[in-house]
Amino acid sequence: MEELMEILSELHPEVDFEQEERLVDGEILDSFDIITIISEIADTFDVVVPAREIVPENFNSAGSLWKMIQRLEDGE
C-alpha cells in the first residue's frame, strides 16, 4: 500500500489520497493520470491492469486501487 501511495502522491502531491474517495468522479484524476498509474502499477507490482478493470469504481480511491491490485495479483 505504501508503494501505491508513493505513486499517487508523486502524481498529485496536493491531494490527500488517504481521505479522497472521488478521484475519478471528482475529476481529480484524468485519463492521462490513469494510464500513468497503470504503467507504474505494472512496473512496481508486476500486475497488468486489463482494460475491463478501468472503471471509476476501481480508481476512485487509493483503497479501491489497492483492492484491485490484490485481486489481480490473486489472478481473479
Partner 1 sequence: MNFTSYEFILLTGLILVVYYCVPKRFQWMFLLAASYGMYASAGWMCLVYISITTFSTYLAAVKISKLSGQKADYLKEHRNGMDKEARKAYKDSIKRKQKVWLWIALAVDIGLFVVLKYSNFFIGNINALCSGLEQWKIIPYTEFLVPLGISFYTFQSMGYLLDVYNEKENAQKNYAKLALFVGFFPQLSQGPISRYEDLSRSLYCGHEWNAETVCFGLQRILWGYFKKLVIADRISIGLKTILAAPEQYQGIYFGVAMIFYAVQLYADFTGGIDIAVGIAQAMGITLKENFMRPFFSKSIKEYWNRWHISMGSWFKDYLFYPLSVSKTMLRISKKSRKLLGEEAGKRVPVYLTTSIVWFCTGIWHGASWNFVVWGLANCAVLLVSRELTPVYRWCHQHFSLEKKKWYPVFCVCRTVVLMSALRMFDCYRDVRIPVRLFFGMFTENNFSELWNGGLLRLGLSMADYIILLCGAVLMLSVSLVQRKQPVRKTVSELPYPVRTALWLLLFTAVLLLGAYGQGYEESQFIYNQF
State which residue, 18 or 30, has the beta carbon closest to partner 1: 30
Sequence-separated (6 or more) residues with CB below 8 Å from residue 8: 15, 17, 37, 62, 65
The packing angle between helices 31-45 and 2-11, to 10°, is 150
Among 3, 6, 21, 42, binds partner 1 (CB under 8 A): 42
Among 15, 36, 64, 66, binds partner 1 (CB under 8 A): 36
Residues of this chain that bind partner 1 (CB under 8 A): 30-32, 34-36, 38-39, 42-43, 48-52, 54, 74-75
